[in-house]
Chain A
Amino acid sequence: MSKNNVPVLEVKNLVKKFKNFVAVDNISFSIEEGEILGFLGPNGAGKSTTINCFLGVIKPDGGEIKIFGKGLIKNRSEIMQKVNYCSAEYHMPWNLSVYESLLVYSTLYQVGSAKKRILELLELFDVSDLRNKRIRELSFGQRARVSIAKSLLNHPRLLLLDEPMASMDPDVVDRGIRLIKKIQKEEKISILYTSHNMWEIEQVADKVVFINHGKVIAQGTPLELTQQELKLEAKEPNLREVFIHLSRRSLKEGIEGKGNPSTSLRVKS
């Protein structure tokens, strides 16, 4: 239970502009303790920009971000002690071995019994035999697994995952998903999860926030969204169809309305 039921992450009216282009447009949502939130949207919708605002590496133009009930700007270091991040886009230091790079990050996050924790995570992600290999020698998917292991080093209370499994094979994704769910249950982690693989999201997400052109255009549980956007009588979530439906709907609105449709696929429907 979180103290006084404060959401683990609470964002209100977040705005980020790059010159005249509005990448994040008045986004608000929250993540409760132990909740996994699927953060969906087409390419260029503003997902990574939003996450980078949560990390404090992009400065928003407006709005408020609270993590563990505290303002991000004033308490960044303290907050990040219990947050972690993983994206397939960035790597662990290339010239270090798997073990060394994890040791560096354990030190950065001041992890107690670092060695034990590292070996435990390497085992969990099935990369123990790679521990002395350099990061640059690893395959894409192996590197991604090491990055996910890194993101769990400090027993985070909030995990920000920006397409963490983008380069993994289906078998590994399947195992990765199971692991994340297992760890999430055991350690009560809250997770913000971004992916273009709808199956992944259906497996993990308790709730989905769908954004396009920087705006939240729908939110709810995967099943709620399916019923709301496709058909009321649906029994199973079908996020793939919901995704396509929502992207095209906002594309049309973009063309007819004042939005900027350039970031969505142009598909005649």
Chain B
Amino acid sequence: MNFTRVYAIVLRHIFLTMHQLERFADMFLFPIFGLLLWGFVSVYIGLNSAGLAAFLMGGMILWVVFERVSTAVGVDFMFDIWEQNLMNVLASPITILEYIGGLVVVAIVKVVVSFLVMLAIAGIFYNFHITTLGVSLVLLWFNLVLFATVLGIFNIAIILRWGHTVGPLTWILPFFLQPFTAVFYPVDILPNVLQKIAWFLPITHVFEGMRFAMTSGKFDSEEFFTGLFFNLVYFVFTVLFFAYMFNLVKRKGTLVKL
């Protein structure tokens, strides 16, 4: 792993973000408007149940972390295809690991900015402070970002293979998962079959863990490790899947035709 080359990818996206207004929108507008919407829903619900209101706000904020990271990894990759620049990057000494590493770093940096904006808005307008979760929050983040990365790598793999016609999956896939991941409600609400599906998704355990921490003030290590376990399993499978696809497109000669 050569960190200068990873930094080159970060630099490329710093410049891109400075020039592209919509890249800024990704970072600020989506989180702000999302939070405003759920903020008011929470205020309304909070009239009856302060606890439930907090669940909704917390769920919303953590969901954005997951959704933004996974989408950014795929979309930033597609920028190199759209700008017909991928071939020049691949011809350089960079390894595919460094390249994807760079994309993940960019996604995390961007989501930290979004997160801080959301913290400020939630704190100022709704008097909601997710930071009271303390260390738990860091561990919840860890599982969120890891699964988002897994999804991002999966997306890059299928784009490598089927081109950017499958690109939209990058921003659709997180929302396909959303109903099962118990972002805004406890898993118990789901029908039995769906609960089983939910259990296999690492971030379900993040949102369950968040609600537990909010009500009890304690960290649910069982939820954390269950999430982490599935994360690691998916991570290994996705990396293998990616390696297979990357090898395949080099053999088929389609990598240079993206």
- Which residues from chain A sit less than 8 Å from chain B, CB to CB? 16, 18, 23, 48-49, 52, 55-59, 76-81, 84-85, 87, 89-97, 100-101, 103-105, 107-110, 134, 147, 150
Q: Are A57 and B90 in contact (CB under 8 A)?
A: yes
What are the residues of chain B within 8 A of A89 when measuring CB–CB? 87
Beyond A57-B256, A90-B84, whether A107 also contacts B91 by CB under 8 A is: no
Tell me how far the C-beta of A78 lies from the nearest C-beta in chain B, rounded to whole angstroms: 7
Task: State the total of A-B contacts with C-beta under 8 angstroms.
Answer: 104
Beyond A58-B250, A59-B251, A78-B93, whether A94 also contacts B88 by CB under 8 A is: no
- Measured CB to CB, the nearest residue on chain B to A90 is B87
Contact digits for B1-30, partner A, Cβ 8 Å, 1 yes 0 no: 010110110011001100110000000000
Tell me how far the C-beta of B73 lies from the nearest C-beta in chain A, rounded to whole angstroms: 18
- Taken together as a complex, chains A and B put the C-alpha atoms of A48 and B256 apart, in Å, by 10
- Measured CB to CB, the nearest residue on chain B to A87 is B87
Q: Is B94 an interface residue (CB 8 A)?
A: yes
- Which residues from chain B sit less than 8 Å from chain A, CB to CB? 2, 4-5, 7-8, 11-12, 15-16, 19-20, 79-80, 82-95, 247, 250-253, 255-256
A18, A85, A87, A104: the one within 8 Å of B11 (CB):
A104
Beyond A91-B85, A93-B85, whether A110 also contacts B20 by CB under 8 A is: no
Beyond A59-B247, A59-B251, whether A81 also contacts B88 by CB under 8 A is: no
How would you classify the secondary structure of chain B's contact residues: helix, strand, loop or mixed? helix
A56, A85, A90, A103: the one within 8 Å of B85 (CB):
A90
Q: Are A57 and B93 in contact (CB under 8 A)?
A: no
Q: Are B251 and A96 in contact (CB under 8 A)?
A: no
Q: Are B252 and A18 in contact (CB under 8 A)?
A: yes
- Taken together as a complex, chains A and B put the C-alpha atoms of A219 and B145 apart, in Å, by 55
- Give me 24 A-to-B residue pairs in the complex whose CB atoms sit less than 8 angstroms apart, sorted by A's number: A49-B253, A56-B250, A57-B91, A57-B256, A58-B255, A76-B93, A79-B93, A80-B91, A80-B92, A84-B91, A89-B87, A90-B87, A91-B84, A92-B88, A93-B85, A96-B15, A104-B8, A104-B12, A107-B7, A107-B8, A108-B5, A108-B92, A109-B92, A110-B4
When A and B form their complex, which 7 residue pairs have the shortest distance between CB atoms, in order from nearest?
A107-B8, A80-B93, A85-B91, A94-B83, A108-B8, A90-B87, A59-B250
Given contacts A96-B16, A105-B88, A107-B7, 14 further A-B contacts (CB under 8 A): A23-B253, A56-B250, A58-B255, A59-B247, A77-B94, A85-B88, A90-B86, A91-B85, A93-B15, A95-B19, A97-B15, A104-B11, A105-B92, A150-B88
What are the residues of chain B within 8 A of A108 when measuring CB–CB? 5, 8, 89, 92-94
What are the residues of chain A within 8 A of B4 when measuring CB–CB? 107, 110
What are the residues of chain B within 8 A of A150 when measuring CB–CB? 88
Q: Are B15 and A100 in contact (CB under 8 A)?
A: yes
Q: Are B19 and A96 in contact (CB under 8 A)?
A: yes
What are the residues of chain B within 8 A of A104 when measuring CB–CB? 8, 11-12, 15
Q: Are B8 and A94 in contact (CB under 8 A)?
A: no
Q: Are B253 and A93 in contact (CB under 8 A)?
A: no
Tell me how far the C-beta of B181 lies from the nearest C-beta in chain A, rounded to whole angstroms: 34
Q: Are B91 and A93 in contact (CB under 8 A)?
A: no
- Taken together as a complex, chains A and B put the C-alpha atoms of A105 and B89 apart, in Å, by 8
- Measured CB to CB, the nearest residue on chain B to A59 is B250
- Taken together as a complex, chains A and B put the C-alpha atoms of A18 and B84 apart, in Å, by 23
